[in-house]
Structure 1
């Protein structure tokens, strides 16, 4: 698997990242271990988790699998803190709790989710800087922010000194959700940030599994993810899904591979986060890195997925 430096940093990450959102809820520890082994065997390094996945269980499972299943040195651990606000104390306490669940003294990348308007942004930035200077993490990034919020934090951290600049932003990006192109991508480019794209399959909709019904074992049928998937079960989304299916048929590959390859081919994207319920599903996603979309197909997909 190919890899790239994340933003303007020395952190080298695989082009595909292993997402763990289902771990501890729809994916048990044994299935998670099988996914992790397959991912590392394929050359993957970046593992993406968060304090809220499975109410912390995803981090706990990951903390047992690394280094029991794969050595710590073979992976890049990234966790995101969600839902605690932008205060320094709460952020650092949440990071400490994540480190405890992960069974490590540091993560390679720590991301803070969301912009807390009730807290001075300088305080949030100071928490990010302190996390680096204290050795809790090697690099910092953000997610869940608008373009101006992202640019504000990036500029402040850069002005604060070279020790802990922002290096990444994580955002949803797929043929069904291109909203990040409006302000997040330009802000990331202006500040030399690497982009980590999640939900490249349109929350599973772009695989075509929902074209005619809702499979009983799908996220769309799960009480945890019904609303998560439902956002993209619209008439406009259906047109994009059909275009992806047509492209896949013409290329002799799967809709999953086409949808993922489209995101991988965007110049702004450093790594794409893929998740799965089991090893077989993950292997299908990993194969997308080998798919190169012809210019005419990419152009057609750009057109059909463009905002009205």
Structure 2
């Protein structure tokens, strides 16, 4: 495992971050979740990403219990706040009340005194941004949070937060952004990545495997393999259906020889591709089996050259989405939307 700075901060994180969205506490049993976390530690992964809303807190509980006893200073724990965690009117959003209360709850579930990284899971248009940033800054001053980040914010939203933080003279600033980013979904490239590069904000890219589609295990004209997310319970099949299609699956099969020539599996190629992109600090990858964790982690340190990048673009062609307008469509938080959690990480 190799390590990188989170943006231009001094914090070092593993190139592959272990993410437990949709899996721990929801799609796999506890023993399997524990095995995956231990496999991550064995592979040299130090960075673990979760959120208060994942399995309504159960994911944080599983992670906290499994990591209990591991030297805390050797870990980087990241969680998030914003999405609905209850039915009450204040059980969501980025108000001071919800941020402070959610942070305390995450600390209890994770069995720790502080979070290395605390992220705004979405932008909240119902709360003044000044209130949100001051609440986050207070947590940093109290020592309960070390670094701040955002997830699925648009470029204008990130820029506004940076400007307000400077104007208010806050001690802390955003050092990370967590977007969906993979070979197929590149909508962050036109606006968000350039802004973050200028401001020293690192990308924690999630869904590098496009819900497993880029592993090549979903084949054209065939049912999803047993045990895959395409056949699992919960919400996962809904997301899988968004990206499954004969044309796409055929193109992914065409990527397999490219990966083989690089001495990589399809999953490793997909992760190495993301790590090759400008401004990416780490790839957030989930898993339902320990062997998947090991395979994902082994993509760290693998290099792919410009010729490989070009071949990937040639194979995927018009299936690649770079439309920056879709960042606003997918990331915006409206009052009506706040009633339920969205269907992504």
Task: Give the TM-score, by structure 2 length.
Answer: 0.84
1:302 aligned partner:
313
1:40 CA displacement: 2.1
1:4 aligned partner:
4
1:93 CA displacement: 1.0
1:213 aligned partner:
223
Please state if 1:143 is matched with 2:151.
yes
Would you say the 8 A contact 1:148–1:187 is kept in 2? no
Q: Secondary structure at the match of 1:115?
A: coil
Q: Which moved more, 1:44-53 or 1:31-40?
A: 31-40
1:76 aligned partner:
76
Q: Which moved more, 1:3-12 or 1:193-202?
A: 3-12
CA distance in 1 between partners of 2:31 and 2:65 (Å): 11
1:232 aligned partner:
243
Q: Secondary structure at the match of 2:268?
A: helix
Q: 1:293 to 1:240 in 2, by over 3 A?
A: farther
Please state if 1:273 is matched with 2:281.
no
Q: Secondary structure at the match of 2:68?
A: helix
Please state if 1:131 is matched with 2:131.
no
Q: Secondary structure at the match of 1:159?
A: helix
CA distance in 1 between partners of 2:230 and 2:189 (Å): 27
CA distance in 2 between partners of 1:204 and 1:114 (Å): 24
CA distance in 2 between partners of 1:219 and 1:307 (Å): 23
1:43 CA displacement: 2.0
Q: 1:302 to 1:162 in 2, by over 3 A?
A: farther
Count of matched residue pairs = 307
Please state if 1:261 is matched with 2:262.
no
Structure 2 residue corresponding to 1:102, chosen from 110, 113, 133: 110
2:89 aligned partner:
none
Q: 1:307 to 1:289 in 2, by over 3 A?
A: same
Would you say the 8 A contact 1:147–1:186 is kept in 2? no
Would you say the 8 A contact 1:176–1:232 is kept in 2? no
1:118 CA displacement: 1.7
1:246 CA displacement: 2.5
1:26 aligned partner:
27
Structure 1 unaligned spans of 5+:
none
1:290 CA displacement: 4.0
Would you say the 8 A contact 1:196–1:272 is kept in 2? yes
Q: Secondary structure at the match of 1:140?
A: strand
CA distance in 2 between partners of 1:289 and 1:186 (Å): 24
CA distance in 2 between partners of 1:197 and 1:174 (Å): 8
Superposition pairs of residues 61-210 of structure 1, within 5 angstroms: 61-68=62-69, 70-83=70-83, 84-161=92-169, 163-210=171-218
Would you say the 8 A contact 1:175–1:240 is kept in 2? no
Runs of 4+ with >4 A deviation: none
Q: 1:105-155 CA distances to partner (integer Å, 9 max, x unpaired)?
A: 211000011111121111111121111112211111000211111111122
CA distance in 2 between partners of 1:120 and 1:287 (Å): 43
Where relative contact order (Cα < 8 A, 6+ residues apart) is larger, the structure is: 2
Q: Secondary structure at the match of 1:222?
A: coil
Q: Which moved more, 1:152-161 or 1:257-266?
A: 152-161
Give the superposed CA RMSD: 1.8
Would you say the 8 A contact 1:6–1:13 is kept in 2? yes
